[in-house]
Amino acid sequence: MFSIDDVYGAATCETIFMKRLIYWALIATLGGSLLACTGAPLLASMAPRSVTVPAERLQQAIAERFPIKQRVADVLELEVLPPRLSLLPASNRLATDVDLNLVDRLLGGRYSGSFSFDFGLRFEPSDNTIRMSGARVNRVSLVGVPEPYQTAITRNAPRLAERLFDNRVLHQFSDKDLRLVNGLGLEPGEITVTPEGLKVTLVPRPLSRP
């Protein structure tokens, strides 16, 4: 098998460098043409098939958006403190425990409590985000709250969880991340909850999609 030096003969170091630069530029040009014609099957076959988002990153992403204040039944001001996330691989969902501070706006009483819920996940292609979906309340615990208020909070808990957490962003892929993935003919697909975090499977991008 011959080399470039065999074709051009002996040359100075500068000449050899320029010849090799031209050689690799030619390879890159041909490779780019092949990529455009085939939808990048060769590179895609060598690319990673999933991306992992660590649990620590998810916890940080949700915690930095809290505390949040909401009104319940027009008489209670409820402060929702930063949630604590946990992973549920068996059901492919995430769970969270949330501590609450409550203030009676009429009588000035102050109370505490907590509630827990779990939720699913979805990928939103319009802004390259992983978002909460289908929040489901599992427990409401209130300390010293008068019975009428307890009833109101418990009754409104599912609606409150939906308002506070449904569609909330847990992770956003950067434009750079998605350019690399899309350039290989792939895009984010199924989201799987694992003991370490979220595993986002990369699937072939439809050729008809711009």
User: Within this chain, do residues 29 and 73 fall inside the same structural domain, yes or no?
Assistant: no
Our separate counts of H helices and E strands in the chain read: 6, 10
Q: Using CA atoms, how far apart are residues 187 and 27, in angstroms rounded to an integer?
A: 26
135 close to 117: Cβ distance less than 8 angstroms: yes
Is 159 part of any domain? yes
Closest listed residue to residue 188, CA positions, set 210, 173, 175 = 173
Is 184 part of any domain? no
Closest listed residue to residue 102, CA positions, set 85, 115, 84 = 115
Token pair in block for residue 52: 């992992």
User: Within this chain, do residues 70 and 112 fall inside the same structural domain, yes or no?
Assistant: yes
User: Within this chain, do residues 28 and 108 fall inside the same structural domain, yes or no?
Assistant: no
Give me the half-sphere count of Cα atoms (radius 13 Å) on the Cβ side of residue 8.
Answer: 14
User: Within this chain, do residues 12 and 74 fall inside the same structural domain, yes or no?
Assistant: no
User: Within this chain, do residues 82 and 16 fall inside the same structural domain, yes or no?
Assistant: no
| Residue located via tokens 């940080």 | 60
Is 205 part of any domain? no
* Residue numbers of the domain that contains 12: 1-38
Is 198 part of any domain? no
User: Within this chain, do residues 29 and 118 fall inside the same structural domain, yes or no?
Assistant: no
User: Within this chain, do residues 72 and 161 fall inside the same structural domain, yes or no?
Assistant: yes
pLDDT digits (tens, 9 = 90+) for 102-132: 998 888 889 999 999 999 999 998 898 999 9
Count of structural domains within the chain:
2
Higher-scoring residue by pLDDT: 177, 207: 177
User: What per-residue confidence (pLDDT) applies to 105?
Assistant: 84
209 pLDDT band, cuts 50/70/90, is: low
pLDDT digits (tens, 9 = 90+) for 157-190: 888 888 888 999 999 988 887 888 888 888 888 9
User: Within this chain, do residues 101 and 28 fall inside the same structural domain, yes or no?
Assistant: no
Is 193 part of any domain? no
User: What average pLDDT does the segment 191-199 reach?
Assistant: 95
Contacts of 14 (CB under 8 A, 6+ apart): none
pLDDT digits (tens, 9 = 90+) for 128-151: 899 999 999 999 998 888 888 888
Is 209 part of any domain? no
Give me the half-sphere count of Cα atoms (radius 13 Å) on the Cβ side of residue 92.
Answer: 8
User: What per-residue confidence (pLDDT) applies to 98?
Assistant: 94
pLDDT digits (tens, 9 = 90+) for 8-66: 444 443 444 344 434 433 433 434 433 444 444 444 454 568 889 999 999 999 998 89
Token pair in block for residue 99: 């501590």
User: What per-residue confidence (pLDDT) applies to 32?
Assistant: 41
Question: Using the 8-state DSSP alphabet, how is residue 206 labeled?
Answer: P
Q: Element (H or E) spanning 205, and its range?
A: none
Phi-psi category of 178—alpha, beta or left, where left has phi over 0 and alpha has psi -120 to 50?
A: alpha
pLDDT of residue 82 exceeding 50, the answer is: yes
Give me the half-sphere count of Cα atoms (radius 13 Å) on the Cβ side of residue 167.
Answer: 3
User: Within this chain, do residues 17 and 82 fall inside the same structural domain, yes or no?
Assistant: no
| Residue located via tokens 């290989």 | 184
User: What per-residue confidence (pLDDT) applies to 154?
Assistant: 87
Token pair in block for residue 128: 């390259």
CATH number, domain of 55, equals 3.15.10.40
pLDDT of residue 83 exceeding 70, the answer is: yes
User: Within this chain, do residues 74 and 21 fall inside the same structural domain, yes or no?
Assistant: no
Is 66 part of any domain? yes
User: What per-residue confidence (pLDDT) applies to 208?
Assistant: 59
- A 10 A CB-CB count for 207 gives 8
User: Within this chain, do residues 59 and 157 fall inside the same structural domain, yes or no?
Assistant: yes
Instruction: Provide the residue type at 2 as one letter.
Output: F
User: What per-residue confidence (pLDDT) applies to 25?
Assistant: 39
User: What average pLDDT does the segment 69-74 reach?
Assistant: 80
Is 196 part of any domain? no
User: What per-residue confidence (pLDDT) applies to 131?
Assistant: 95
User: Within this chain, do residues 65 and 140 fall inside the same structural domain, yes or no?
Assistant: yes
